[in-house]
Structure 1
Amino acid sequence: MAKAVAMDANSKGSEKSTKPNERDRDFLNHLETYLAKRDGVDKLLKISRYASKIILASSVLSENVTLNRRLKSFESSVGLSRKAFRLGKFVQDVNALRSSRWDSNHEVLFSIVAYGGEGLYYFVEQFIWLSKSGLIDARHARWLQGISAWAEFVGYIGSISMKIRDLRTIREEEACLASTMEISVTRGVSCRAEEEKMKKVREKKTMKALSILQDLADALMAIADIRDGKGRLSAPMVISSAGMLSAIISTHKNWVSC
């Protein structure tokens, strides 16, 4: 439909249509759009929090008691702020589950596990925020955090499974395009359209692979919460680094999608 509009537009209309694109490419306009989104601000807070955690875990400020205490307070405050940003976010998982179209029982299972787990996680996080902010008795926080951690972990299992399936489909599409391009080159036919499609498919594959890596990092943090920080993989520096990796990838994904 957009292509048809573009083809029917006159030269004056074409000039108008290019101006928004130029503004979209402007860094400050892009940044404004990014910060207007809940996820945009949330991911910047996530980077701030895990940067603080990495500094605290590295013991760089161990001798500076005052600055160390302030950084811990900042990290705790940012963590609480992020929970406030998740108010009502479980609705997007409910809608995602409602709008899902399934071709097999495996897809039904993966969707329920992914969206159901993540939705329950975001739903419980609201009550954890209320508990930590003082509205609900703090004694409920511990068992709520246990439910939240398990729901988050289950959600990532489903999400990773779905994305691995999607990645396989993208690779099949890439292989099919490569075969088509090879035939075109052999016949001496221009394959510019296929090259553009290949570029988009490869970008899509990269983003999907990064998304899987992000889910693995987040799943590792969920396991650490389930095990209450016990074990080598739950070491502060390991978890902080995993959190920073997840934050950078999700920030990049949100920036590109703006």
Structure 2
Amino acid sequence: MVESKKIIVGSSSTAISAFFLTPHLSTMNDTVDKLVIFLAKRDGIDKLVKTFQYVSKLVHWQVENTHPDVATRAKQWEVASGLSRKAFRSGRFLTGFNAVRRNPGPTTTFRLLAVLSNAGEMVYFFFDHFLWLSRIGVLDANLARKMSFISAFGESFGYIFFIISDCILIQEGIKTERKIIKSMEESKDSKEKIKKIRVDRVMRLMAVAANLADLIIGLADIEPNPFCNHAVTLGISGLVSAWAGWYRNWP
């Protein structure tokens, strides 16, 4: 049961790709499935470049007044990394579409959460294409602000429901683990079940941490404020998200 739920509400492409790489793949091999598997393989490089992006943001903030030349280079690195990540994410909106299409959830609650979370993520990735094109000069640069707002709104909306889903599943996992422990079973099967529950819990906690961090970054675009828009807040949030992603994607 834990395994099936993990497929439904995982907020990263890793959870989805893990499902498609199981034996179920033989019955799920149409064009969209293959495209999603292909696109999901870029998660690793995305987390690496995201680390570059937010480390350079913190460097720029630290040396802006003391070493302007270094700060300029750091800013260029940050901008280049951000644009590169947008290019890497081309077509990623299909991931959310395929998640809802293939396995929306075993209960009404999870189906609703899956639809809301993935819909928000689809809006985020889809409008991110136009934000990228406006920033590199293909589209009118004046569109950038509007596209950024729509993209960030969809992202933040989706993350709220991804976080709720993961919290529900963490709670269910804790209850299941307690039942197994109370039953006083010492069998190998029981130990294996507890191990799987704990591994799943760690992965979901990493997902919650990443989504909360990305939610702060999204809020900085939606409703600019001194806290969310501060370079340190954005830098730390970006690194938390990136490194949580590293942990979840590391083989």
> Scaled by the length of structure 1, what TM-score is found?
0.78
1:175-232 Cα distance to aligned partner (Å, 9 max, x none) = 122123x2x3xxxxx523322321221111111112111111111111111123x232
- The one-letter amino acid of 1:39's match is D
**1: CA distance, partners of 2:112 / 2:226:** 31
Larger radius of gyration: 1
2:25 — aligned with what? none
**2: CA distance, partners of 1:98 / 1:136:** 32
- Does the CA contact (< 8 Å) of 1:121 and 1:151 recur in 2? yes
1:7 — aligned with what? none
- The one-letter amino acid of 2:133's match is L
1:206 — aligned with what? 202
**1: CA distance, partners of 2:64 / 2:213:** 26
How do residues 160-199 of structure 1 correspond to structure 2 at under 5 angstroms?
A: 160-180=163-183, 182=184, 184=185, 190-199=186-195
- The one-letter amino acid of 1:195's match is K
**Identical aligned pairs, as a percentage?**
33
Q: Does 1:244 align with 2:244?
A: no
**1: CA distance, partners of 2:229 / 2:68:** 25
1:70 — aligned with what? 73
2:43 — aligned with what? 39
- The one-letter amino acid of 2:212's match is L
- Does the CA contact (< 8 Å) of 2:60 and 2:72 recur in 1? no
Q: SS of 2:202's equivalent?
A: helix
CA RMSD between the two structures: 1.7
- Does the CA contact (< 8 Å) of 2:104 and 2:115 recur in 1? no
How do residues 13-92 of structure 1 correspond to structure 2 at under 5 angstroms?
A: 37-57=41-61, 59-60=62-63, 62-92=65-95
1:133-170 Cα distance to aligned partner (Å, 9 max, x none) = 11111111111111011111101011111111111221
Show structure 2 runs of 5+ residues with no match. Answer: 1-39
**1: CA distance, partners of 2:178 / 2:140:** 57
- Does the CA contact (< 8 Å) of 1:116 and 1:155 recur in 2? yes
**2: CA distance, partners of 1:46 / 1:141:** 20
2:22 — aligned with what? none
- Does the CA contact (< 8 Å) of 1:113 and 1:157 recur in 2? no
**1: CA distance, partners of 2:134 / 2:206:** 34
**2: CA distance, partners of 1:151 / 1:242:** 18
Q: SS of 1:233's equivalent?
A: coil
Q: 4+ residue stretches of structure 1 with deviation over 6 A?
A: none
Deviation, 1:61, is: 5.1
Show structure 1 runs of 5+ residues with no match. Answer: 1-35, 185-189
**1: CA distance, partners of 2:145 / 2:229:** 18
**1: CA distance, partners of 2:105 / 2:193:** 26
> Scaled by the length of structure 2, what TM-score is found?
0.80
- Does the CA contact (< 8 Å) of 2:207 and 2:244 recur in 1? yes
